[in-house]
Structure 1
């Protein structure tokens, strides 16, 4: 898994006005919580944080001004609905060796059996438990040669060592749908073209 170091400052001003000022300075407001401790309100470097969050379940080493270093993983983010920039981030405090539950993206690889069938992602992520410092970035599933009507359940997916499944074992993750017949529509279009030519 990926580990990224970020410098962070403790925030003492709150509210929308204060948050806007932080963002104008290229920072992102955030909250660090967990282990029953009081939440710490932080200001984090926007560009570096944005890059770090491209990696799912990235482990962040926060160098907090005046408080030393803490380990955290991203729990939730808020983004501007139009521009997509980060508005706020919630971070979960973790310790080395501690197990946490996270959502891991499911990545399908391979080619379906020929015939124009479609692969449907019923679940885009799996809920798994793993050590905080060894969280998988994704799980890969082979769909090579699968035909219409096939499905892959959560329990069918091989997880990395030390990772256990939290999602229900019989939950459908991927399924192969039969290609929809499009011939009638194509024939109707040809018929209309023929009528136009006759006219």
Structure 2
């Protein structure tokens, strides 16, 4: 399950561009919490804290318990805007998380056991088709990642989504059996790799008749 982090906020009284600019002039960031069958709630967030969280990575898959003037809301970031010149946060949208609901999340893909993939050991390369996979997941149990086991993969082998054991109650948004990763042969193809391996083995073997 994804780690739940805490975040402090205050209710923002004004809405619109003018109110948002006023919040930024005070050194804070405007945001909004929406969804869950409730009215959107404009909020104000601390700039330094939010900037650190965004650039720490995995911001859009992190669950936050937001303390809004003493009232706590569990939410996940759905989008954020950065200044086009300075890359500093300008606005953040949060989605309320209600128990029992399901949401769409881009979950990072991790790759394990590269050393156990013959195609990589023979000079091939890992061709990652997707770094994240969009899944429908329980709002109260969002996985941090999914893992692809590369054991036994050779040149031109592929791993598709249906071969991966997904966490409980998690399903791909795309129902096709799409490709996650392939093993690409080295330049010159598999034959060149075989010749290079044979030459290396011959060079390592002791010459006949020599003691």
TM-score range, shorter-chain basis? 0.7 to 0.9
Change (3 A) 1:25 1:2: farther
- Pairwise CA RMSD: 2.5
- Indicate if the aligned counterparts of 1:6 and 1:45 stay in contact, CA closer than 8 A: no
The answer for the alignment partner of 2:83 in structure 1 is 80
The question of 1:65 aligning with 2:66 is answered: no
Match of 2:61, SS? coil
Taking structure 2 as the reference length, what is the TM-score of the superposition? 0.74
Q: Distance in 1 between matches of 2:164 and 2:52?
A: 29
The question of 1:116 aligning with 2:123 is answered: yes
Which one of the candidate residues 124, 132, 136 is aligned to 1:125? Answer: 132
Using the TM superposition, name which of 12-21 and 2-11 deviates more.
12-21
Q: Distance in 2 between matches of 1:35 and 1:142?
A: 37
Change (3 A) 1:161 1:155: same
- Indicate if the aligned counterparts of 1:77 and 1:86 stay in contact, CA closer than 8 A: yes
List structure 1 segments (4+ residues) > 6 angstroms apart after TM superposition. Answer: none
Match of 2:140, SS? helix
Deviation of the 1:20 alpha carbon = 4.1
Q: Distance in 1 between matches of 2:81 and 2:155?
A: 38
The question of 1:32 aligning with 2:57 is answered: no
Match of 2:24, SS? helix
How many equivalent residue pairs?
182
- Indicate if the aligned counterparts of 1:154 and 1:168 stay in contact, CA closer than 8 A: no
Deviation of the 1:58 alpha carbon = 1.2
- Indicate if the aligned counterparts of 1:117 and 1:148 stay in contact, CA closer than 8 A: yes
The answer for the alignment partner of 1:193 in structure 2 is none
Q: Distance in 2 between matches of 1:13 and 1:118?
A: 54
The question of 1:93 aligning with 2:96 is answered: yes
